[in-house]
Amino acid sequence: MSRTQYYCAATLDGYIADADDGIEWLTGYEGSYAGAEAEAGPMAEGGSSESFYAEVGALVSGSVTYEFILVHIAGGGQWPYAGKPCWILSSRDLPVPEGEGVDVRIENRSVRELCEPMMESAGGRNLWIVGGGNVASQFADAGLLDEVLLTVVPVVLGEGKPLFERGLPGGSMELTGVTPHANGMVGLRYRIHRRAP
């Protein structure tokens, strides 16, 4: 069954970006863990990011995350999510990259209105809520968030952009998995019991 999944990395104190939307704390992180149960790092070849992405049929993000991807990931190169519909929640006109397999849809509607067409576009696979915290909170507020898959990076920023912009309706989540990684990061998987909006 298709699920809506908020998958991201966050600092130990719960931030997904620094105050200037930077993620150098993630891209520059170097650590290790020698425990026997350690798996490949999330971004390593064959790591958890690859297996997660294989189950993704469509993506959704806010405009700030989208613009970050355009500049820092796709900048001058290939769109990283070719072949998968990518929904962008924005009230602004935004550029759309060109190229084979690019399917970017800019929408100024609520997640409640868009969730069904997003899930249909995922073709039976999962919908990845890429970010940021506001978009994840919109799904949670509407009772449309199924899982949170969080990679905790042992870095403390003290300030920045939070994992969620608001508290979760209903409060708690059910832990369904813990994965220590050889790079010192820890993957946490939580199920959210959907509530009626």
* 101-135: pLDDT as tens digits: 999 999 999 999 999 999 999 999 999 999 899 99
Listing DSSP states for 130-160 in one string gives EE-HHHHHHHHHTT---EEEEEEES---SSS
Whether the Cβ atoms of residue 118 and residue 127 lie closer than 8 Å to each other: yes
99 DSSP 8-state letter = S
User: Nearest CA to 88 among 108, 116, 117?
Assistant: 108
Output the six-digit token pair for 102. 């690019």
Rama region for 28: left / alpha / beta (φ>0; ψ in -120 to 50; rest): alpha
How do beta strands 147-153 and 186-191 pair? antiparallel
Whether the Cβ atoms of residue 35 and residue 180 lie closer than 8 Å to each other: yes
CA distance 111 to 115: 5
Q: Does the CA dihedral 191-6-55-88 come out positive or negative?
A: positive
76 burial class (0-12, 13-18, 19+ CB within 10 angstroms)? exposed
Where would I find the H helices in the chain?
A: 24-27, 48-54, 63-68, 111-121, 133-141
* pLDDT per position as a tens digit, 29-84: 999 998 988 887 666 655 678 889 999 999 999 999 999 898 877 666 789 999 99
Looking at residue 85, its pLDDT comes to 98
Backbone angles phi, psi at 83, to 5 degrees: 90, -5
Listed by start position, the domains of the chain span 4-191
* pLDDT per position as a tens digit, 128-180: 999 899 999 999 999 999 999 999 999 999 999 999 999 888 767 999 999 99
- CATH class of the domain at 4-191: alpha beta
pTM over 0.85: yes
130 burial class (0-12, 13-18, 19+ CB within 10 angstroms)? buried
